[in-house]
């Protein structure tokens, strides 16, 4: 038991990301309202961002912007002083993708609402089968 | 459906957690992820590109090709909203307020338009613009937000910031204008045509700077080969980054506003939140 | 250093942006701009293919940074072939669909062409790249543009089909992204070859296993392998003609390519077939996909939907062939990527011509179509024969390799599914032919029949149909050459 506990404490942020992601996935599959599904989708994508940012973190390191002391000639930049810049860079892309998908999905719901006057999936299905 | 969802979610969650079992501890500076490529970026970036912000250097130089397509993703979203929602049909009815008396006129014939000015002002059907305090506060704030946005873009390779962030801030200042006044005010100031051109131009600036490197004898995106064009000495790569950041900023700003306008007015560009 | 590899992707990309600019200036110029971009792309792709055949793998480093620091394009025989295919089909489709676009999306053609070229850019970029994360970004471009294009189709059902496609597409792409994250966690690199070198010696790691499962699941969702296919039929059949013609041959095939790339280049045969031993299970899934796709196709009343289910069935062929784990099966799968793209393109060209003339392609509306559109139907029949697998059309040869692979592996269930699905396709298409040929035309169409040539599709569409039909036979007759010069050297 204490093994498991220490395992969780050492990696709690990974556990958190999985829980957050599963909340999003559950909302995407089980919810009936389209907006709720889209919000679930956003949570799902945000969880991935949390995961990547956790990968890049290092203890006792600072943000990846060079300190002014290191900019002189002959100064050595120590990698352990800065957190991993690559994951932040990748997540910039992922954020943009999730924003784009979110915006587009919102535009679609506007279209659907204008056509059917509802965003509940079961009602939409009824309207379609008519 | 709920049960099925629960089973799927539990299985996926268990799989993901199983994968984390062998992960190095959180924040371990010796994890493989923080050693291989990441160290190269941290140690060599300043020497090679003269950009103190490593993230910006990675985003726009080492992995600049990703970022170009990332801008394209945003461009796709804006274009998609335009294609889906834009409705060019004329509106049927208008509302005007007679300013001195506060009487509201309802014009049911869309062709009869009242010229707005000192006497009449245009009104939304169901959105009442906020009152004087909000308008004044926002009017004072907006120029500062915009200056700050430009600072964030221009200072992207020295401090946290960059094209996306600056572009979003600039776009939000315009959206604030629409919220504090009304949509009509924004659309009159920045025409749809201008926004469309800015969006495409922004991405084209990025792709163009990247493409110019090819006839200059380098690979695609190789800013180092721009040295004959830009008298910047060893800072030529940082300058190339600044150029693409500006392009990204313009594109993101325009697209944020396009998405906003199209969604709130359901493509009519006349009224909305 | 010449820049043909990057031109393949950047030419359609930049022309798409110029077309986006010209929406606001002179919309009529969008079409020639976009077409030029695709022409440059085709030219570069063929050029690159010839050079790869002559002198081996080409590497191109973005911004001059060597991998794994920068992003790398690594073009071997497999990508080069798929690149030619994608750019060629996209180019021909744009020529054929000029009138369809005018008919269906009349008021915003410029914006549509922009989206179309961005979609093709995405597909080309997915195919050419040697970087795991770059692949993700380009998958997202293809996805976003296809969501937009699906939504522009059928006014009632298009947006809903598109929204469902978004949900499933996001899950698929996110799984892939997570898988890449797990791989990055383990290796610290994003370059495919680099990752492959690092994980070679650590096959027991649970992180690699989960990364593998996530990546493959994500790709399967994106390619609509049964039972993850639910989004595909609606998305493909409610979209505009020009889009279904491009997406049906290309999207799933490119995703199959991604799967093969992950299998061969990143995880490696040893890991998949020696360590994991899951190939039997996957071949069973593929078998079920083949049969289920065929049976669901039988139940359809609409030609476009029927073809969509046939695509589900064809995906089963390729996945099964790739997972048989022997050279013959993999050869069949790769050859089938090319052949299936050509066949599906030819079929959808025919369907597009029918829709252009008579709007609806419910099976009952097809009566007497042979008389009205003989040339269109000629192309359609040839493509259908190819899907069924009649020699000397190309469909026969890839199926032959798949069958040989199945027998070598002893996977008789897969072989049986291949034969049964061919029979199902035969039944399906002969039902269609019967309706088109023998059943009398509905009332009110007799007078049109008297000058039947007027009912035939425009010449631009027919010429493209003719070219593709030629390629169907050509690829069949020369399939031995293709296998010997491209596929076998690639498999090594």
DSSP-derived 3-state class of residue B96: strand
- Confirm or reject contact between C178 and chain B (CB < 8 A): yes
Determine the Cα–Cα distance for residues C384 and C382; give it in Å rounded to an integer: 5
Mutate to test the interface with A, among C111, C148, C163, C168 (most CBs of A within 10 A): C163
Q: Is the pTM of this model over 0.80?
A: yes
Determine the Cα–Cα distance for residues C417 and C289; give it in Å rounded to an integer: 9
Interhelix angle C327-358/C77-96, nearest 10 degrees:
10
Mutate to test the interface with C, among B13, B63, B194, B227 (most CBs of C within 10 A): B63
Determine the Cα–Cα distance for residues C174 and A21; give it in Å rounded to an integer: 10
Q: Which of C242, C397, C422 minimizes the C-alpha distance to C333?
A: C397
pLDDT beyond 90 at C145:
yes
Q: Which of A119-123, C27-31, C152-156, C425-429 has the lowest mean pLDDT?
A: C152-156
Instruction: Report the residue of chain C nearest A25, measured CA to CA.
Output: C171
Name residue, tokens 């190939």.
Answer: C279
Gyration radius from chain A CA atoms: 22
Mutate to test the interface with C, among A20, A97, A105, A113 (most CBs of C within 10 A): A97
Predicted pLDDT of residue B129: 59
Segment C349-362, tens digit of pLDDT: 999 988 888 877 88
Q: Structure tokens of A124?
A: 């939409």
Predicted pLDDT of residue A72: 64
Residue C289: count other Cβ atoms within 10 Å of its Cβ: 28
Confidence of residue C453 (pLDDT cuts 50, 70, 90): very low
Task: Give me the torsion for CA of C406, C410, C416, C421, rounded to 10°.
Answer: -20
Upper half-sphere CA count for residue C187 (Cβ side, 13 Å) = 27
Predicted pLDDT of residue C451: 44
Note whether A101 contacts C144, CB cutoff 8 Å.
yes
Q: Structure tokens of A126?
A: 């009824």
As for how many domains chain A has, the answer is: 1
Q: What's the gap in Å between the CA of C240 and the closest CA on chain A?
A: 17
Segment C11-42, tens digit of pLDDT: 999 999 999 999 998 888 999 999 999 999 99
DSSP-derived 3-state class of residue B104: strand
pLDDT beyond 50 at C287:
yes
- Confirm or reject contact between B36 and chain C (CB < 8 A): yes
Confidence of residue B89 (pLDDT cuts 50, 70, 90): confident
**Mean per-residue pLDDT for C424-450?**
74
Which is more confidently placed, C453 or C102? Answer: C102
Q: Is the dihedral of CA C458, C461, C463, C469 positive or negative?
A: negative
Picking from C133, C167, C174, the nearest residue to A90 by CB comes out as C133
Picking from A87, A93, A128, the nearest residue to C157 by CB comes out as A128
Gyration radius from chain C CA atoms: 22
Chain C residues with CB-CB distance to A97 below 8 A? 137, 140
Note whether C159 contacts A111, CB cutoff 8 Å.
yes
- Confirm or reject contact between B34 and chain C (CB < 8 A): yes
Determine the Cα–Cα distance for residues C304 and C350; give it in Å rounded to an integer: 10
pLDDT beyond 90 at B68:
yes
- Confirm or reject contact between C44 and chain B (CB < 8 A): no
What is the greatest pairwise CA distance in chain B? 74
Determine the Cα–Cα distance for residues C282 and C296; give it in Å rounded to an integer: 21
Confidence of residue C449 (pLDDT cuts 50, 70, 90): very low
Predicted pLDDT of residue C263: 92
Predicted pLDDT of residue C230: 87
Chain C residues with CB-CB distance to A101 below 8 A? 140, 144, 166, 170
Mutate to test the interface with B, among C8, C20, C212 (most CBs of B within 10 A): C20
Note whether C151 contacts B80, CB cutoff 8 Å.
yes
Note whether C162 contacts A90, CB cutoff 8 Å.
no
**Mean per-residue pLDDT for C436-443?**
72
Q: Structure tokens of C167?
A: 């949900």
Instruction: Report the residue of chain A nearest B257, measured CA to CA.
Output: A103
Note whether A48 contacts C184, CB cutoff 8 Å.
no
Chain B residues with CB-CB distance to A96 below 8 A? 70-71, 73-74, 164
Picking from B55, B71, B263, the nearest residue to A64 by CB comes out as B55
Note whether B63 contacts C71, CB cutoff 8 Å.
yes
Determine the Cα–Cα distance for residues A91 and C172; give it in Å rounded to an integer: 17
Determine the Cα–Cα distance for residues B55 and B68; give it in Å rounded to an integer: 15
Determine the Cα–Cα distance for residues C88 and C92; give it in Å rounded to an integer: 6
Secondary structure of chain C as H, E, C letters: CCCHHHHHHHHHHHHHHHHHHHCCCCHHHHHHHHHHHHHHHHHHHHHHHHHHHHHCCEEEEHHHCCCCCCCEEEECHHHHHHHHHHHHHHHHHHHHCHHHHHHHCHHHHHHHHHHHHHHHHHHHHHHHECEHHHHHHHHHHHHHHHHHHHHCCCCCCHHHHHHHHHHHHHHHHHHHHHHHHHHHHHHCCCEHHHHHHHHCCCCCCHHHHHHHHHHHHHHHHHHCCCCCCCHHHHHHHCCCHHHHHHHHHHHHHHHHHHHHHHHHHHHHHHHHHHHHCCHHHHHHHHHHHHHHHHHHHHCCCEHHHHHHHHHHHHHHHHHHHHHCCCHHHHHHHHHHHHHHHHHHHHHHHHHHHHHHHHCCCEHHHHCCHHHHCHHHHHHHHHHHHHHHCCCCCHHHHHHHHHHHHHHHHCCHHHHHHHHHHHHHHHHHHHHHHHHHHCCCCCCCCHHHHHCHHHHCCCHHHHHHHHHHHHHHHHHHHCHHHHHHHHHHHHHC
Determine the Cα–Cα distance for residues C112 and C243; give it in Å rounded to an integer: 10
Determine the Cα–Cα distance for residues C205 and C26; give it in Å rounded to an integer: 58
Q: What's the gap in Å between the CA of B137 and the closest CA on chain A?
A: 28
**Mean confidence (pLDDT) of chain C:** 90
A96 Cβ contact partners less than 8 Å away, ≥ 6 residues apart: B70, B71, B73, B74, B164
**Mean per-residue pLDDT for B21-46?**
85
Q: What's the gap in Å between the CA of C210 and the closest CA on chain B?
A: 5
Burial classification of residue C201, based on how many CB atoms lie within 10 Å of its CB (0-12 exposed, 13-18 middle, 19 or more buried): exposed
- Confirm or reject contact between A7 and chain C (CB < 8 A): no
What backbone phi and psi angles, to 5 degrees, belong to C78? -65, -50
Predicted pLDDT of residue C403: 94
**Mean confidence (pLDDT) of chain B:** 87
Determine the Cα–Cα distance for residues A45 and A36; give it in Å rounded to an integer: 14
Domain CATH for A56: 1.10.287.3510
Determine the Cα–Cα distance for residues B51 and B57; give it in Å rounded to an integer: 6
Determine the Cα–Cα distance for residues C342 and C144; give it in Å rounded to an integer: 24
Residue A19 structural domain = 2-66+75-128
Q: What's the gap in Å between the CA of B176 and the closest CA on chain C?
A: 26
How distant is the alpha carbon of residue C165 from its chain centre?
A: 17
Give, as one character, the DSSP assignment of residue B265. Answer: T
Segment B172-231, tens digit of pLDDT: 999 999 888 888 888 888 999 999 999 999 999 999 999 999 998 888 988 888 888 887
Picking from A41, A51, A115, the nearest residue to C156 by CB comes out as A115
Segment B226-262, tens digit of pLDDT: 888 887 778 888 888 999 999 999 999 999 999 999 9
**Mean per-residue pLDDT for A96-117?**
92
Picking from C157, C162, C167, the nearest residue to A37 by CB comes out as C167
């Amino acid at each position: 038991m204490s093994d498991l506990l220490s395992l969780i404490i050492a990696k709690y942020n990974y556990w958190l990301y999985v829980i957050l992601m599963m909340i999003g996935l559950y909302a995407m599959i089980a919810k009936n309202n389209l907006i709720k599904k889209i919000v679930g989708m956003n949570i799902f994508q945000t969880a991935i961002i949390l995961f990547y940012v956790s990968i890049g973190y290092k203890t006792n390191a600072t943000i990846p912007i060079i300190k002014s002391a290191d900019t002189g000639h002959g100064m050595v930049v120590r990698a352990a002083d800065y957190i991993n810049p690559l994951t932040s860079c990748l997540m910039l892309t992922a954020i943009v993708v999730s924003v784009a998908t979110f915006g587009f999905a919102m535009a679609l719901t506007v279209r659907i609402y204008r056509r059917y006057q509802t965003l509940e999936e079961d009602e939409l299905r009824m309207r379609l089968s008519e | 459906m709920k049960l099925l969802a629960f089973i799927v979610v539990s299985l996926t969650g268990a799989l993901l957690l199983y994968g984390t079992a062998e992960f190095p501890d959180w924040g371990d500076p010796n994890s493989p992820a923080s050693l291989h490529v990441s160290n190269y970026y941290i140690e060599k970036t300043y020497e090679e590109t003269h950009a103190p912000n490593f993230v910006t250097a990675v985003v726009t130089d080492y992995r600049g090709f990703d970022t170009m397509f990332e801008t394209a993703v945003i461009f796709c979203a804006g274009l998609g909203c335009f294609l889906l929602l834009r409705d060019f049909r004329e509106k049927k009815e208008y509302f005007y307020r007679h300013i001195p008396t506060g009487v509201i006129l309802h014009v049911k014939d869309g062709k009869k338009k009242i010229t707005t000015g000192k006497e009449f002002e245009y009104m939304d059907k169901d959105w009442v613009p906020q009152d004087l305090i909000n308008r004044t506060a926002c009017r004072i704030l907006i120029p500062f937000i915009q200056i700050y946005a430009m600072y964030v873009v221009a200072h992207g390779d020295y401090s946290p910031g960059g094209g996306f962030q600056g572009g979003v801030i600039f776009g939000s200042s315009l959206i604030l204008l629409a919220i504090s006044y009304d949509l009509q005010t924004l659309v009159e100031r920045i025409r749809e045509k201008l926004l469309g051109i800015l969006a495409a131009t922004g991405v084209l600036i990025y792709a163009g700077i990247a493409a110019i490197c090819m006839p200059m004898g380098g690979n695609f995106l190789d800013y180092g080969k721009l040295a004959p064009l830009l008298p910047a000495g060893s800072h030529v790569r940082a300058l190339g980054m600044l150029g693409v950041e500006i392009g990204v900023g313009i594109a993101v700003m325009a697209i944020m506003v396009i998405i906003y306008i199209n969604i709130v007015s359901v493509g009519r560009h006349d009224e909305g939140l | 250093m010449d820049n043909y590899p990057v031109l393949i992707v950047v030419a359609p990309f930049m022309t798409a942006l110029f077309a986006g600019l010209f929406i606001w200036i002179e919309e009529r110029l969008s079409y020639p701009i976009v077409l030029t971009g695709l022409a440059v792309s085709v030219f570069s792709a063929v050029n690159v293919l010839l050079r790869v055949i002559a002198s081996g793998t080409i590497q191109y480093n973005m911004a001059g940074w060597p991998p794994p620091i920068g992003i790398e394009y690594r073009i071997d025989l497999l990508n080069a072939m798929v690149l030619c295919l994608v750019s060629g089909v996209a180019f021909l489709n744009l020529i054929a669909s000029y009138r369809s676009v005018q008919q269906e999306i009349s008021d915003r053609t410029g914006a549509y062409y922009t989206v179309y070229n961005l979609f093709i850019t995405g597909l080309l970029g997915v195919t050419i790249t040697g970087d795991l994360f770059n692949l993700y970004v380009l998958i997202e471009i293809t996805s976003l543009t296809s969501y937009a294009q699906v939504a522009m189709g059928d006014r009632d059902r298009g947006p809903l089909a598109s929204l469902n496609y978004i949900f499933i597409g996001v899950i698929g792409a996110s799984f892939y992204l997570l898988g890449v994250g797990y791989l990055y966690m383990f290796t610290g690199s994003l370059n495919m070859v680099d990752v492959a070198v690092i994980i070679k010696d650590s096959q027991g790691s649970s992180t690699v296993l989960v990364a593998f499962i996530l990546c493959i699941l994500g790709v399967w969702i994106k390619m609509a392998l049964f039972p993850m296919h639910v989004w595909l039929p609606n998305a493909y059949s409610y979209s505009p003609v020009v889009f279904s013609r491009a997406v049906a041959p290309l999207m799933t095939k490119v995703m199959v390519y991604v799967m093969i790339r992950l299998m061969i280049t990143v995880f490696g045969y040893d890991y998949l077939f020696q360590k994991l031993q899951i190939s039997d299970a996957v071949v069973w899934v593929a078998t079920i996909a083949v049969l289920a796709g065929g049976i669901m196709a039988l139940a359809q009343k609409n030609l476009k939907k029927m073809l969509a289910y046939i695509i589900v069935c064809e995906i089963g062929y390729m996945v099964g062939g790739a997972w048989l784990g022997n050279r013959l099966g993999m050869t069949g799968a790769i050859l089938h990527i090319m052949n299936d793209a050509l066949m599906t393109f030819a079929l959808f060209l025919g369907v597009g011509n029918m829709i252009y003339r008579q709007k609806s392609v419910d099976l009952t509306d097809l009566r007497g179509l042979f008389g009205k559109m003989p040339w269109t139907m000629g192309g359609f029949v040839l493509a259908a024969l190819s899907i069924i697998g009649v020699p000397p059309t190309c469909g026969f040869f890839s199926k032959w390799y798949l069958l040989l692979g199945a027998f070598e592996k002893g996977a008789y269930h897969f072989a049986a599914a291949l034969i049964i699905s061919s029979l199902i396709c035969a039944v399906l298409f002969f039902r269609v032919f019967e309706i088109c040929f023998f059943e009398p035309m509905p009332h009110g169409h007799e007078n049109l029949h008297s000058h039947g040539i007027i009912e035939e599709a425009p010449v631009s569409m027919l010429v493209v149909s003719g070219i593709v039909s030629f390629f169907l036979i050509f690829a069949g007759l020369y399939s031995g050459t293709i296998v010997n010069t491209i596929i076998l050297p690639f498999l090594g």
